[in-house]
Amino acid sequence: MWTLKNKVNKLAKKTIHLARTFACGGFTKIGGPPDVPAEFEWPVWNGKSLSFLIQLKFSEINSKNELPDMPTSGLMYVFYEQEKSTWGHEPTDKGSWKILFFPETEKLKSRRYPKDIKVRYKVCNLVPQIINTFPDIGDERIEGLKMNDKQDEWYYDYQQSVYNKLPFHQIGGYPYALQGADMDLDCEIVSNGFCKDSTEYAEARAKIIEDNKSDWTLLLQIDSDENYGMMWGDSGMLYFWIKKQDLKVQNFENVWMILQCL
């Protein structure tokens, strides 16, 4: 098992785990009303305000540039539709989530919820912890290790152990996939106008060069957490993906979200 662990560790990617904390004082948090700059406008989709999920301050969570592809400053806010009915499987889902990014400023105010917001998540402060994440067990690099059933069980436990029994909220790294490892390919195909559950999807997959999926990288993963009212499907996760070139210029307009659950 030691030799196997060494091989697995060579595939690791650094990740910022956003760990739950009861300490006060930081900006980065899930839930509660957002603390926003003056130019902030609450995002709306199909005539309804989106629910606020999380706010991040990159000078708090990536100040040492542990993740070189991620910003080292700036404020990011994440919103998702109140009914939690979109999964990122259809092109028309775009707009049911929103990522807003602003330069850091000391001039922030707590923003009241719009009157039509029915879904409000309890506040929980988050602190960054650098951890290693690993590919999905269905990834060709893991399949190439030809693990037996016992080793598969070890790998699942090893993947989860890095989160120290806390929710799997994270920035960057490998996603902890609940329904397969092809989310980057899903993002490429669905964002190009093809529904995941349609007959055209398979045709599109054949036409779209699979190398294009490497343009996508995980921006943010938000886990279910019943303690704070967050439940995505059946104990699922929200995965927010961004094209690498967009991340480089801090363009968050085309982020694609995928919901997976158990």
Q: φ and ψ at 132, to 5 degrees?
A: -100, 140
Q: Which pLDDT band, with edges at 50, 70 and 90, does 199 fall under? A: confident
Six token digits for residue 136: 């999905």
Look at residue 211 in the predicted model and tell me its pLDDT: 67
Q: Which pLDDT band, with edges at 50, 70 and 90, does 80 fall under? A: very high
Helices 149-161, 2-9: inter-axial angle, 10-degree rounding: 50
CA–CA separation, 72 and 129 (whole Å): 15
Look at residue 214 in the predicted model and tell me its pLDDT: 85
Q: Which pLDDT band, with edges at 50, 70 and 90, does 210 fall under? A: low
In this model, does residue 209 exceed pLDDT 70?
no
In this model, does residue 19 exceed pLDDT 80?
yes
In this model, does residue 1 exceed pLDDT 80?
no
Q: What is the pLDDT of residues 112-141, one digit of tens each?
A: 999 999 999 999 999 999 999 999 999 999
Q: What is the pLDDT of residues 32-54, one digit of tens each?
A: 999 999 999 999 999 999 999 99
Domain 16-127+167-175+182-260: CATH superfamily is YwqG-like (2.30.320.10)
Alpha carbon distances (Å) from 172 to 14, 27, 117, 143, 229: 8, 19, 29, 23, 24
Q: Are 113 and 121 in contact (CB under 8 A)?
A: no
Segment among 17-21, 85-89, 185-189, 221-225 with least mean pLDDT: 185-189
In this model, does residue 11 exceed pLDDT 70?
yes
Look at residue 205 in the predicted model and tell me its pLDDT: 72
In this model, does residue 69 exceed pLDDT 90?
yes
In this model, does residue 2 exceed pLDDT 70?
no
In this model, does residue 213 exceed pLDDT 80?
no
In this model, does residue 181 exceed pLDDT 80?
no
Sequence ranges of the domains in the chain: 16-127+167-175+182-260
Segment among 62-66, 110-114, 179-183, 233-237 with least mean pLDDT: 179-183
Mean pLDDT along residues 241-260: 97
Following DSSP, what letter does each residue of the chain receive, concatenated?
A: -HHHHHHHHTT-EEEEEEEEE-----S-EESSS-EE-TT----EETTEEPEEEEEEEHHHHSTT-SSTTS-SS-EEEEEE-TT----S-SGGGTTSEEEEEE---S--EEPPPPTT----PPPEEEEEEEEEE---TTSHHHHTT---HHHHHHHHHHHHHTTTTS---EESS----SS-S-HHHHHHHHTTT--TTSHHHHHHHHHS-GGGGGGEEEEEEEE-BGGGTB--TTT-EEEEEEEHHHHHTT--TT-EEEEE--
* Average of per-residue pLDDT values in the chain: 93
The candidate with the shortest Cα–Cα distance to 252, out of 105, 45, 98, is 98
Amino acid at 90: E
Look at residue 43 in the predicted model and tell me its pLDDT: 98
Mean pLDDT along residues 22-39: 93
